[in-house]
Structure 1
Amino acid sequence: MTSIPETACDRTTVIDWWRQQCDQCSDRVAVVTEDQSWTYQDIDHLVNRFANQLHQLGCGKGSHVGLCVDRSAEAIAAMLGVMKIGAAFVPLDPEYPTDRLASMVEDAEIDVIIGHSRYETELGTPLWDARSSTGSWIDCESVMSGENLASETTREFLKTSPSEADLAYLMYTSGSTGRPKGVEISHRALVAYCIADIECYKLTADDRTLQFSTLCFDIAIEEIFPPLLSGGAVVIRPRGRSEHRNELSSLIKRFDITAVHLATAYWHSWVDLMVAAGDRVPASLRLVIATGEKVSVAHYRRWQSIADHEMLWCNAYGPTEATVTATVYVPDQAFNQDNSAGNMPIGKPLPGYSAFILDKDFNVLTAGETGELCIGGPALACGYHKRPELTQQAFINVQIDGREERLYRTGDLARWLPDGNIDFGGRFDHQIKLGSYRIEPGEIEVVIDEIEGVNESLVSYDEVDGKKFLVAYVSVGSGKDVSATYLANSLRQTLPAYMIPARYVMMESFPKTINGKIDRDSLPSPDQGDVPHDANHVPPRDSLEQRLADLWKEVLHLPEIGVHDDFFLLGGSSLLVTQVITRLTTDLSVDLPVRDFFANPTIATSARQIRKLISFDDDANAEANLSSELEDAMRIRARLPEVSPTFFPSGDYELFSVHYRPVNAQPIGAVVLAPSIGHEYTRAYRNLQQLAVQLCQVGFEVLRFDYAGTGNSDGDCSELNAKLMEQNLIDARDFLAKQTGINHVAVVGLRLGATVASQVSPGTFSQTVLWDPVESGEEFLDLVDQFHDQELQGLTRYNQVRVGDPGIDQAYGYRMSEAKRSSIAALDLRHCVEHDLVSTDDEIFWEDSRYNEAAFSSPSSFAAIERLLVSDLENRKDGASR
């Protein structure tokens, strides 16, 4: 049964409602992650932990707290914890460029950010610099790490409680003036929306809703709060890419999902993929909501053809300013049987909402007349944060039928249909609806205009086969060399990916009207524009690459694509990946998993992967295939550094090392890589090689080495101790400085190597970067001893249980001694001075014995390490120039 408090509409806040749910169903499952289930009581304890920490940092009513988190149980608990003390949470998407996040932090006056540790090093300092002050970062992992969630530290937090007028959250959207604007949503608005959502969609405690959206898009609000406030469970979409071709269907079946809320464009692609693969709609679903843009009736008909059971299917419409959703359309029997219907309405207002269609003088229009759609009711936003002029323009008070109504002007054209539903008619201004995002072209234009070589710009869109993409018209004058690639790369430093134009039309000057405005009707066709390309463009070299290129051009709406162009740098997205995989299924009968596409984002690499999956009939081009693969290999080889194996002295030992030197570039700095030891070194070996190559390509001289008694170095492994490892590291630094003539040498330590590097005297290295460091040497030894015992007894390597030699002290991959054990056990990261920390979000599984011999790859860690090292170099150069 749906659980809505009788007084919810009058006076409760989200926190009041949450407390009631916890009392009613404390032992029910509230949140499900990939490897764990959390009851309402479990989540509530986490809520209290976050609330207590925030209170201790001085947060309370009126505070704004940043959330730099991924989809997770702790993200949901953090949202509720922030609201519990009367503060408002502000989603900060870690995928956004740092400059954009910094402007949001500054505008919202955020002094505390709750976030995952993997984002703290990369984002923390730049974001506080924006405030010209030092803020606090609450590490989600530390909040989650307590053994007993119900311990004293999580006692109920009662010193403050929000009121319905307090803000619940601040959601930033695209702004026409060139900077994002914050939409203020109060508890009153959020509660009104949740009541309407639960009633409209008939949510119950038996529902399991998929949390699929990024937290910075307000579909996430819909996926989290109504399900929890009705006693249901929220299932978090796993971070890792799926090995299944149909990722969404596999998730729904795996977790018995009953409700999904999807951006319309994603729903379209999902339907196409199911049709192409011959799949049916998963049987567990009872509720499907498509929202964000116009629904294709043709896709709805396809959906009907693959659905074998009754379910509630809804077309939802609503701007962020009206708290997620304002109207909803549920196709009735007449629509389902009307094959001539060419357009799907956006429905009627949700319970408690109101809708009016007004003319330019704010007079109410009747059925059939087209005007501006305006939304009313208690779920409207308070306005835009610190933007009174925008608030006044968008939120108006009008007299309707003798009473005053506060309405939000959506800027959308609409009309009433005879049956009381609303027909959507597009925009009357230049705002662009792309996927599920409302984009103000002016925000993109401001950034383009600041790029060197640009005089003026105008951003619009083109539409092909129902799919929109952004087009930038750029006035560059005469004789200026400004390329599409240059512009796109510049924009990526400031704007999120969905706001990067896919095509650029370069012009000497813009045509103008008699009033001096850009004459849009006289602008060239978008198909005359250029697209960003790999610097060394290579066209398709065989029939498979040509078929892939044709497919990509169709999906990305681009005139030309090279085999080494990156799909995602060309404007590709997760949504478009689904479209590509759908077409591969239809055209080539290739069952390509989503994960494989992400790992092979160029035509050249995708073609090789597809050839492994199918026997592609291309014998006539066999020689060309071999030639192209050799060419690909040469392209990769040209980027590789000069590699020199060598030995250097460290006390009584000769240590083996590999020196990586940049080619065709002047070195910008030097880095020593400090590895872990034992089986962890074996697992990380390839990763350290890859990191060295990547740093070399940036311009660093890099030295990788083996400690005494390990790998190819001299010495007895049992004699190696923490002090000797530290001395080996210092000697490696001195050797690299002598070889390169570079005195400022940084160190990047991985696991136990990071812990050892943290103990080196300050000033020895110009910068110390700790990558996934071992916090406690004693726990590290316990872990490898556990692996050692499992290996001897687990029958995975031997056909009978083995017993270690009692005369030899061993750990997994280590020759030990009492002195060695004591020195490693004494290492404790908590006693070291502050260093740059990189905690990877890649799937490494250090503590899972199933993966203790598997190699891994950490592209996100490489990127974070590179940024830290380059940023430190730039800061030192700036300091020297001053």
Structure 2
Amino acid sequence: MAGRYETDDAVVAEELIAFPILWMRQWTQTPDRTAIVSEDGQWTYSQLDAMANAIAMRLRLTGIGPRQCVGMCVDRSPEAIAAMIAVMKLGAIFVPLDPEYPVDRLRYMVSDAAIATILGHPHYEEPIGKKLVGDEASLCQWINCDSAFVASDAVSETDLLFPSISPDDLAYIMYTSGSTGKPKGVEIQHSALATYCFADIECYQISPDDRTLQFSTLNFDIAIEEIFPPLLTGGCVVVRPRERANDRNELSSLVDRFDVTAIHLATAYWHQWVDLMVATGAKVPASIRLMIVTGEKVSVQHYRRWQHLCDHPVLWCNAYGPTEATVSATVFIPNDQFDAANMPIGKPMKRYEAFILDKDRKVLGEGETGQLFLAGPALALGYHNRPDLTEAAFIETDINGHSRRLYRTGDVARWLPDGNIDFGGRMDHQIKLGSYRIEPAEIEAVVNEHERVLESLVSYDEVDGKKYLVAYVAVEQANHRKEDSARDIANFLRQKLPAYMVPTRYVFIKSFPKTINGKIDRPQLPSPSEGVVPRDDAYVAPRSDVERYLVELWQDVLNVPEIGIHDDFFLLGGSSLLVTQVVARLTTERNVELPVRDFFANPTIAASARHLEQLTSGCGPNQSSQDSDEDIRVFRNQLPMVDADYFVSGADRLYAVRYSPRSKSIGAGSTGRAIVMCHSIGHEYARGHRNLQQLAIQLCKAGHEVLRFDYASTGNSEGDCEKLTADLMRQNLVDAKNFLVTRTGIENVSAIGLRIGATIAATVDPETFDRVVLWDPVVSGQRFLETVDRFHHEALTSLSRFNVVREAGPIDQCYGQRMSSEKRVSLSGLCLDQASSLDEKYTTVLTDHWDTSEEAAQWLARQVRDQRYVIQTADVAAWDESRYTESAFSSPESFRAILNQFGRPERAQ
């Protein structure tokens, strides 16, 4: 027992014991305090514990017990936090699996950690889960972890009979980049986690009044300090929303929205936040009392800017620490007189020790430069399944007559006169890029797998404080342009490595210069500036003043020497951090307020320039029509062939649009698919039109023939709107399928239906289609009509659309369509229960909060119980909310889920 800290209701001993015991002490003292706040609501300490118990019970039923590893393939969310607590309660070990990682990398981590079960959000089950657990030889299983756990029956501690957990047992394994070409798992014990939590609480003065932002992804150990210390004080964790906001300064908006008091940010993110506040003339949000910056060297210039932006007292801290020391080990808190040129990394936190040793492991004194070693109970146990790496990194040595277990950081440092540590960089070739520690050897091992690569070396270039990965590559001699080779290798790496580990530049050489000892002679390598950037399009020079300005801006931000107007910002090495920098520069240099979301939608110079010209009043495009035609030609070359046509269905002619792959038509006998899209009706037709149009293009790019059509009397089709019934819609769909068969020669046709279109597709004869995707289906036609009638009434009376309150006229209308009694009866009778059999050919794709009715919840529960295929995404369509009825919605996860259902066909030769 080494100290104490106070909460609202009790004094809790700082024992270095298992986290579940510390958690139990806290939640029983503050059961009604708010523990978690997210965009979906809030949870008290007792509710969070109940959710953790429900997850633990589910895990136990699958056989999970002490010292077994549980994978966590989840987004930031309340259930993710509950799941981590649940795993630890069982004496098991949680292992974060970043959904953004390539599947091959995740597969290695699952195998290396012998993960028996993966807790995952449902929208990752199809693209990730089935690839990790689908192998017949795999003993791993996937459990969907979502808000359904919140509604689970209460499970008490007595019911579960949790096992006794030793402080020496593992709490989690965090995978980091490994020098052997594979990631390595850092093993953190419960005693180490407790050590860090208590040090964090004392150093940062964490209190029950704090609202700490959970900003980081779970695979980065900043998430550990964002979650666990606040939960041991009675404080509140605010989970960062999944969707991007429309605000220029998203982080400040988020802080204000949730009254956040404490933020932990990777240095690069903090630098960009400061720049954005400067650019927009904003101040540090008034609610912030704690700002922790960590991950890499802090710019003193940015700290000065922060001071000018901050009008109230804030505890500002520069933290340092590798994952092997459980998050952070040292902290520097500058005083009012701080005026050094470099930002120190501070002094060891409570129970941590730091030593600076020479090459003979002798202790160095003030001002002497050596290697930094860390010690104390927070050190990791070692690297999972890697005794060789553990032995090399964790050493036993004598310090001042006492044996110490030390972790070799590989960082150069020296003691300053005031007892703080001055950081001097890396001793080896490891690269610190943004928040990540990267072992170049891991990237090199993957580069060398490329069939044309003979040898490689990965390093970095640094310009104006920004680091970029550079790959030096020796390739087989062939008639390949360097630009093509760079593109091929980059695309190869994107399939196997996280995005942050894919180099931005590629320097091609015949062979590597070697020293007399056979090692690569690094000083003799060409300059990184000679490297080429992987690009998908041929270079096209800027044509207008706006394009020239953007090219110069992007070249500066990306450190890329030549950028064409059709190059993609993100394929050139751009990231969300660099997008923020572009937005800040546009504000300060051009006084243009560009939301980050708008930049993501226009990632080329040509598209971004057109968008900026539209935003700038009185500034039209300054380019010739010939240039505009060329832009359109380049764009069209990326699109499928589109053909508009009519076909007969009953007594009506229906309008249809067919999308065909441009590179090669698919004919009879091909393995490519033909797909019919089935729209909704009324205002939902308008809301979904652009999305289905874009989805059709994506499917066609994947090699499929696609048909979109309008029902009789809707859109451009002929007919009488009042006579459109469910039976007529089904007939229209069947005739659309037959029309597509005639046009393509492909007999097996699939269907994708949205909303009522999904319900129609589910209720036609099951033999009609080879495969059916139901996207946000309407469970009850009656409820659908009631909702749309409500929208119609609100539009007439709310003064949001008209200047005066209007009354419904003599014609029966339903927000976008004319109605009749026959039509109402027919549509209200639509029900998914009419589907005779939702077998394996049917897949349901759902957006978040797709339908909040009890009827829909019961239908969904029945699908899950019957093991019918359901994919839930984080996309938000908000069909039931009238404020969104005039808005388009974004559905990237739904697109990916649907595209994965059909894959990329092989063309007939």
The aligned counterpart of 2:405 is 406
Shift of 1:313: 0.8
The aligned counterpart of 1:192 is 195
The aligned counterpart of 1:843 is 876
The aligned counterpart of 2:885 is 852
1:826 is paired with a residue whose SS is: helix
Residue identity matched to 1:212 = F
Shift of 1:405: 1.9
- Distance (whole Å) between structure 1 residues aligned to residue 33 and residue 307 of structure 2: 34
Of 817-826 and 288-297, deviating more is 817-826
- Distance (whole Å) between structure 2 residues aligned to residue 52 and residue 509 of structure 1: 58
The aligned counterpart of 2:694 is 690
Residue identity matched to 2:828 = R
The aligned counterpart of 1:230 is 233
Instruction: Check conservation: 1:672, 1:748, Cα contact below 8 A.
Output: yes
- Superposition CA RMSD, Å: 3.0
Shift of 1:564: 1.5
The aligned counterpart of 1:44 is 49
Instruction: Check conservation: 2:741, 2:749, Cα contact below 8 A.
Output: yes
Structure 2 CA distance for partners of 1:777 and 1:54, relative to 1, 3 Å: farther
Q: 2:148 aligns with which of 138, 143, 156?
A: 143
2:453 is paired with a residue whose SS is: coil
Shift of 1:767: 3.4
Matches for 1:814-829 after TM superposition, within 5 Å: 815=820, 816-818=823-825, 820-824=827-831, 826-827=833-834
Q: What TM-score do you get using the length of structure 1 for normalisation?
A: 0.91
Shift of 1:261: 0.8
Structure 2 CA distance for partners of 1:655 and 1:109, relative to 1, 3 Å: farther
The aligned counterpart of 1:612 is 614
Alignment of 1:510 with 2:515, yes or no, is no
Structure 2 CA distance for partners of 1:256 and 1:14, relative to 1, 3 Å: same
The aligned counterpart of 1:741 is 745
The aligned counterpart of 2:473 is 474
Of 599-608 and 708-717, deviating more is 708-717
Deviations along 1:559-611, one digit per CA (max 9) or x if unpaired, are 11111111111111111112112222222122222222222222222222222
The aligned counterpart of 1:118 is 123
Alignment of 1:443 with 2:442, yes or no, is yes
Q: What TM-score do you get using the length of structure 2 for normalisation?
A: 0.89
Instruction: Check conservation: 1:345, 1:421, Cα contact below 8 A.
Output: yes
Residue identity matched to 2:898 = I
Structure 2 CA distance for partners of 1:57 and 1:786, relative to 1, 3 Å: farther
Matches for 1:650-689 after TM superposition, within 5 Å: 655-667=654-666, 668-689=672-693
Residue identity matched to 1:191 = A
- Distance (whole Å) between structure 1 residues aligned to residue 775 and residue 156 of structure 2: 31
1:235 is paired with a residue whose SS is: strand
- Distance (whole Å) between structure 2 residues aligned to residue 676 and residue 153 of structure 1: 42
Instruction: Check conservation: 1:13, 1:162, Cα contact below 8 A.
Output: no
The aligned counterpart of 2:865 is none
- Distance (whole Å) between structure 2 residues aligned to residue 774 and residue 451 of structure 1: 48
Structure 2 CA distance for partners of 1:654 and 1:548, relative to 1, 3 Å: closer
The aligned counterpart of 1:17 is 22
The aligned counterpart of 1:357 is 356
Deviations along 1:200-253, one digit per CA (max 9) or x if unpaired, are 000001111111212221111111111121111112222222322222222222
Instruction: Check conservation: 2:332, 2:345, Cα contact below 8 A.
Output: yes
Deviations along 1:176-205, one digit per CA (max 9) or x if unpaired, are 111111112222211111000000000001
The aligned counterpart of 2:396 is 397
Alignment of 1:248 with 2:251, yes or no, is yes
Shift of 1:498: 0.7
Shift of 1:727: 5.4
Instruction: Check conservation: 2:133, 2:142, Cα contact below 8 A.
Output: no
The aligned counterpart of 1:527 is 529
Q: 2:185 aligns with which of 182, 186, 211?
A: 182
The number of equivalent residue pairs is 865
Of 49-58 and 433-442, deviating more is 49-58
Deviations along 1:463-495, one digit per CA (max 9) or x if unpaired, are 111211100000013235252122211111111
Structure 2 CA distance for partners of 1:59 and 1:789, relative to 1, 3 Å: farther
Matches for 1:265-414 after TM superposition, within 5 Å: 265-334=268-337, 336=338, 338=339, 341-414=340-413
1:126 is paired with a residue whose SS is: helix
2:533 is paired with a residue whose SS is: coil
The aligned counterpart of 2:605 is 603
Alignment of 1:173 with 2:176, yes or no, is yes
Alignment of 1:861 with 2:883, yes or no, is no
2:829 is paired with a residue whose SS is: helix
2:423 is paired with a residue whose SS is: strand
Shift of 1:328: 0.5
The aligned counterpart of 1:54 is 59
Instruction: Check conservation: 2:79, 2:149, Cα contact below 8 A.
Output: yes
Shift of 1:287: 0.9
Shift of 1:325: 0.4
- Distance (whole Å) between structure 2 residues aligned to residue 361 and residue 458 of structure 1: 30
Structure 2 CA distance for partners of 1:852 and 1:305, relative to 1, 3 Å: closer
Of 341-350 and 652-661, deviating more is 652-661
- Distance (whole Å) between structure 2 residues aligned to residue 612 and residue 68 of structure 1: 41
- Distance (whole Å) between structure 2 residues aligned to residue 240 and residue 283 of structure 1: 24
Q: 1:220 aligns with which of 219, 223, 227?
A: 223
Alignment of 1:101 with 2:106, yes or no, is yes
Deviations along 1:500-558, one digit per CA (max 9) or x if unpaired, are 11110011111111222211111000001101123222111122211111111111111
Residue identity matched to 2:487 = T
Provide structure 2 residue ranges, at least 5 long, that are not aligned to the other structure.
667-671, 847-872
Of 41-50 and 425-434, deviating more is 41-50
Structure 2 CA distance for partners of 1:677 and 1:479, relative to 1, 3 Å: same
- Distance (whole Å) between structure 2 residues aligned to residue 100 and residue 837 of structure 1: 28
Shift of 1:373: 1.3
2:526 is paired with a residue whose SS is: coil
Residue identity matched to 2:82 = A
Residue identity matched to 2:831 = I
- Distance (whole Å) between structure 2 residues aligned to residue 800 and residue 394 of structure 1: 74
The aligned counterpart of 2:452 is 453
Structure 2 CA distance for partners of 1:197 and 1:582, relative to 1, 3 Å: same
Instruction: Check conservation: 1:775, 1:828, Cα contact below 8 A.
Output: no
- Distance (whole Å) between structure 1 residues aligned to residue 896 and residue 531 of structure 2: 31
Structure 2 CA distance for partners of 1:166 and 1:790, relative to 1, 3 Å: farther
Structure 2 CA distance for partners of 1:809 and 1:101, relative to 1, 3 Å: same
Of 456-465 and 72-81, deviating more is 72-81
Residue identity matched to 2:42 = S
Instruction: Check conservation: 1:492, 1:500, Cα contact below 8 A.
Output: yes
Shift of 1:326: 0.7
Shift of 1:784: 4.3
Instruction: Check conservation: 1:413, 1:427, Cα contact below 8 A.
Output: yes
Structure 2 CA distance for partners of 1:156 and 1:711, relative to 1, 3 Å: farther
Instruction: Check conservation: 1:776, 1:829, Cα contact below 8 A.
Output: no
Deviations along 1:255-288, one digit per CA (max 9) or x if unpaired, are 2221111111121222222233333222221111
Deviations along 1:747-799, one digit per CA (max 9) or x if unpaired, are 22323333444456666544333333445666556644654565566565574
Residue identity matched to 2:365 = T
The aligned counterpart of 1:427 is 426
Of 135-144 and 563-572, deviating more is 135-144
Provide structure 1 residue ranges, at least 5 long, that are not aligned to the other structure.
none
Instruction: Check conservation: 1:48, 1:156, Cα contact below 8 A.
Output: no
Instruction: Check conservation: 1:488, 1:500, Cα contact below 8 A.
Output: yes
- Distance (whole Å) between structure 1 residues aligned to residue 824 and residue 311 of structure 2: 66
Q: 1:64 aligns with which of 69, 74, 81?
A: 69
Shift of 1:669: 3.0
Instruction: Check conservation: 1:453, 1:480, Cα contact below 8 A.
Output: no
Structure 2 CA distance for partners of 1:145 and 1:846, relative to 1, 3 Å: farther
2:100 is paired with a residue whose SS is: coil
Of 72-81 and 809-818, deviating more is 809-818
1:253 is paired with a residue whose SS is: helix
- Distance (whole Å) between structure 1 residues aligned to residue 189 and residue 136 of structure 2: 25
